[in-house]
C-alpha cells in the first residue's frame, strides 16, 4: 500500500534559521513526487515535481531533493512569509493519473 509520512508535524524556526522537512514514501513505482505549500483556508500551491532519485530543484529559498525512499525540502534563511503547511504527495505508476497520495503535512512557523 502506498504511504507518505511527513516529519516533523510542526516546525518553529527563527527568521534566518535554516532547516529541512522530510517526506518518506513507499510506492511500488514512483511516477512523481510533488511538493505543495498550503496557506490556511486556501488550496495547495504547486512548488516542485521530482521524478527520479538524485534530482534536485530550487525556487528562491526552497530546495527539494529526492532519494529512492524520501524527499527533503530544505529552507534556507526562512522569512515569516514562508510560514505555511508544506504538503508532500506521490503518484504511483500503478495508480490512476490523478491519484496523488498526500502526507499530512508539516506546519512551518517562522518567527521574526
List residues binding other proteins (CB under 8 A).
Answer: 31-32, 34, 36, 41-46, 49, 87, 91, 96-100, 102-105
Q: Residue 1 or residue 112: which is nearer to other proteins going by CB?
A: 1
**Smallest distance from other proteins to CB 103, Å:** 6
Per-residue H/E/C for the chain: CCEEEEECCEEEEECCCCEEEEEEEECCCEEEEEEEEECCCCCCEEEEEECCCCCEEEECCEEEEECCCEEEEEECCCCHHHCEEEEEEEEECCCCCCCEEECCCEEEEEEC
**Smallest distance from other proteins to CB 63, Å:** 18
Amino acid at each position: 500500500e502506498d504511504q507518505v509520512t511527513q516529519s516533523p508535524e510542526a516546525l518553529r524556526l527563527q527568521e534566518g534559521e535554516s532547516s529541512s522537512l522530510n517526506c518518506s514514501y513507499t510506492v511500488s513505482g514512483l511516477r512523481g513526487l510533488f511538493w505543495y505549500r498550503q496557506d490556511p483556508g486556501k488550496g495547495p500551491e504547486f512548488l516542485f515535481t521530482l521524478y527520479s532519485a538524485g534530482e534536485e530543484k530550487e525556487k528562491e529559498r526552497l530546495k527539494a531533493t529526492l532519494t529512492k525512499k524520501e524527499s527533503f525540502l530544505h529552507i534556507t534563511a526562512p522569512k515569516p512569509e514562508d510560514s505555511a503547511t508544506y504538503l508532500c504527495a506521490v503518484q504511483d505508476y500503478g495508480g490512476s493519473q490523478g491519484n496523488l497520495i498526500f502526507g499530512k503535512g508539516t506546519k512551518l512557523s517562522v518567527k521574526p
